[in-house]
Amino acid sequence: MTEAPPPPTTATVPRGATISPIPSPSPSTGPARGAFDWTDEEARRRAAAGLVRAVRPRPADSDLLDLASNDYLGLTRHPAVTAAAAEAAHRWGAGSTGSRLVTGTTELHTELERELADFCGFEAALVFSSGYAANLAVLTALTAPGSLLLSDAGNHASIVDGCRLSRAQTEVVAHADPEAAAKALGREPGRRALLVTDAVFSVDGDAAPLAALAHVCREHGAALVADDAHGLGVLGEGGRGSAYAAGLAGAEDVVATLTLSKSLGSQGGAVLGPARVIAHLVNAARTFIFDTGLAPAAAGAALAALRLLRAEPALAGRSRTVAAELYGRLTAAGLTAARPDAAVVSVRAPSPETAVRWAADCRAAGLAVGCFRPPSVPDGISRLRLTARADLTAEQIGTAVGTVLRTAPDATPRGA
Residues 357-392 have pLDDT tens digits of 999 999 999 999 999 888 778 777 899 999 999 999
User: How high is the pLDDT of residue 61?
Assistant: 83
Catalytic residue chosen out of the listed positions 202, 263, 266, 346: 202
Catalytic residue chosen out of the listed positions 230, 319, 346, 382: 230
* Percent of the chain residues topping a pLDDT of 90: 81
The stretch 272-286 carries a mean pLDDT of 98
Please, which residues have CB within 8 angstroms of residue 208's CB and are 6 or more apart in sequence?
152, 176, 197, 198, 199, 200, 201, 226, 242
User: How high is the pLDDT of residue 25?
Assistant: 54
Q: Whole-prediction pTM value?
A: 0.88
User: How high is the pLDDT of residue 381?
Assistant: 86
User: How high is the pLDDT of residue 27?
Assistant: 57
Catalytic annotation present for 96:
no
User: How high is the pLDDT of residue 52?
Assistant: 80
pLDDT of residue 271 exceeding 50: yes
Rounded Cα distance, 178 and 213, in Å: 5
User: How high is the pLDDT of residue 26?
Assistant: 58
User: How high is the pLDDT of residue 368?
Assistant: 97
Catalytic annotation present for 129:
no
Dump pLDDT digits (tens) for 122-139: 999 999 999 999 999 999
Catalytic residue chosen out of the listed positions 156, 175, 262, 266: 262
The stretch 56-73 carries a mean pLDDT of 90
**In the structure, what pLDDT confidence band is assigned to residue 410 with cuts at 50, 70 and 90?**
confident
**In the structure, what pLDDT confidence band is assigned to residue 221 with cuts at 50, 70 and 90?**
very high
pLDDT of residue 343 exceeding 70: yes
User: How high is the pLDDT of residue 415?
Assistant: 67
Cis bond before residue 375 (omega within 30° of 0) = yes
Catalytic annotation present for 202:
yes
